Amino acid sequence: MPVRNAQFELIRRDGKARRGSFLTAHGRIQTPVFMPVGTCATVKGLTPEMVLGTGAQILLANTYHLAIRPGDELIASLGGLHKFMNWNLPILTDSGGFQVFSLAEMRKITDQGVSFRSHIDGALLELNPERAIRIQENLGSDIAMCLDECPPFGCTPDHLKKAVIRSIDWAGRCLEAQTREDQLLFGIVQGGTDLSLREFCAQRLVELGFPGYALGGFSVGETPEQMAQALAPCADFLPENKPRYLMGVGRPVDLLRAVASGIDMFDCVMPTRNGRNAMAFTHSGDARLRNAMHRGSPEPLDPECGCYCCQNFTRGYLHHLFQTEEMLGPTLVSIHNLHFYADLMAGARASIETGTFDAYVTNCLGRWGLER
């Protein structure tokens, strides 16, 4: 069905925090929302049923990685990304712009696009706005992202401005290249921590008329304080009636501060990456399960959590799994961490609806031993 208009509904506001929902071809998404990252069409170590059980509404997959392996045309021939990975809820695909940023020593950027060496075999590859859209249309994601240039933090003002201009130009080309009626295309606002450039970029993208907008280029070297100070004004540059997505962020505290600034959508590898490395997020703070203090503990990982891990296993058992390098340890803690993030966003949604979001944030941070 045609969904080039996301039909965003702003249900309630509490300060700048927003409780909303919007439509995709594979269902309606309730916001604020966190998206688990399934870079290569899988959330590492978890089956789709496990991910669904954590409360996830939407997954993120990556254009760059899937175009290299197994190839977007192969995925299209097998029925598209949803069928390929057996996930029937919405999927967002990143355009590959961040991977271009991370491959700085292996790529060359021009106004036409990017040429770079594959991190797999060194083969020369090219990515431009039209190709980025074609790949994502082959994948069949519900939300596609424009190709953008993500400038590194601390780059020269001239470099930053050129990246913004190029990102705007590429966004227009992405829009012109789009052919699918069942895929939302989000523009990406760049500009680092320069608010004047962020506003300029946002204005130009809004003029193009995307169904949703993302803030890219955060969490790339700036301090959490610098990001927090920039988020609220950057969110204000974006339309009230469209979803707002902060890319690649992050820690639970960052998510709450971003929701307070008016952001709706988030993704990050942190919950699963940390889970694979024996670090859990809990209602009372972080737990590092390799620490000897957990050996023999009969307590659940988080007594307030209803996930499969916390309802069935003890900290002592989890400690044992990581000490013996058993695969089940990373799986169980990844399940818990994703559940924690989904529950954090569910709590944000509920508190915005009741006008108690500020108290919710204060309570969460206090229990984590953090200041507002």
If one compares 313 and 124, the residue with the highest pLDDT of the two is 313
Measured in whole angstroms, the distance separating CA 293 from the mean position of its chain's CA atoms is 33
Residue 179 predicted with pLDDT over 70: yes
Query: What pLDDT, on a 0 to 100 scale, did the predictor assign at position 100?
Result: 64
248 three-state secondary structure: coil
2 three-state secondary structure: coil
Whether the Cβ atoms of residue 305 and residue 343 lie closer than 8 Å to each other: yes
Average pLDDT over residues 175-191: 97
Whether the Cβ atoms of residue 260 and residue 230 lie closer than 8 Å to each other: no
Neighbours of 253 (CB within 10 A): 17
Residue 44 predicted with pLDDT over 90: yes
Average pLDDT over residues 98-117: 76
Residue 360 predicted with pLDDT over 80: yes
Token reading at 23:
């439509």
Query: What pLDDT, on a 0 to 100 scale, did the predictor assign at position 315?
Result: 98
Q: Among 344, 5, 347, which Cα is nearest to 181's?
A: 5
Query: What pLDDT, on a 0 to 100 scale, did the predictor assign at position 101?
Result: 60
Query: What pLDDT, on a 0 to 100 scale, did the predictor assign at position 3?
Result: 47
| Catalytic residue IDs | 94, 267
Q: How far apart are CA 150 and CA 333, in angstroms?
A: 32
Residue 104 predicted with pLDDT over 60: no
Whether the Cβ atoms of residue 94 and residue 62 lie closer than 8 Å to each other: yes
Residue 71 predicted with pLDDT over 90: yes
Q: Which residues partner with 117 through β-bridges?
A: 124
Token reading at 312:
């069935």
Q: Which residues partner with 134 through β-bridges?
A: none
Preceding peptide of 32 cis, ω within 30°: yes
How do residues 253-263 score in pLDDT, each as one tens digit? 999 999 999 99
Token reading at 32:
């604020």
Whether the Cβ atoms of residue 195 and residue 224 lie closer than 8 Å to each other: no
Q: How far apart are CA 252 and CA 370, in angstroms?
A: 11
Neighbours of 73 (CB within 10 A): 13
Query: What pLDDT, on a 0 to 100 scale, did the predictor assign at position 21?
Result: 98
The residues spanned by each domain of the chain are 11-268, 275-367
How do residues 5-31 score in pLDDT, each as one tens digit? 889 999 999 999 999 999 999 999 999
How do residues 331-347 score in pLDDT, each as one tens digit? 999 999 999 999 999 99
Question: How much is the pTM?
Answer: 0.96
Query: What pLDDT, on a 0 to 100 scale, did the predictor assign at position 118?
Result: 75
How do residues 215-271 score in pLDDT, each as one tens digit? 999 988 899 999 999 999 999 999 999 999 999 998 999 999 999 999 999 999 999
If one compares 77 and 1, the residue with the highest pLDDT of the two is 77
Neighbours of 179 (CB within 10 A): 8
Residue 103 predicted with pLDDT over 70: no
Average pLDDT over residues 86-94: 98
Superfamily name and number for 11-268: Queuine tRNA-ribosyltransferase-like (3.20.20.105)
List the alpha helices (DSSP H) in the chain: 48-53, 63-68, 72-77, 81-85, 97-102, 129-139, 157-177, 195-208, 224-236, 252-261, 270-276, 308-312, 315-323, 328-353, 357-367
Q: What is the DSSP string of 277-318?
A: TTEEEETTEEEETTSGGGTT--SBS-TT--SHHHHH-BHHHH
343 three-state secondary structure: helix
Work out the pLDDT band at 96, boundaries 50, 70, 90. confident
Q: Among 62, 25, 37, 18, which Cα is nearest to 243's?
A: 18
Work out the pLDDT band at 1, boundaries 50, 70, 90. very low
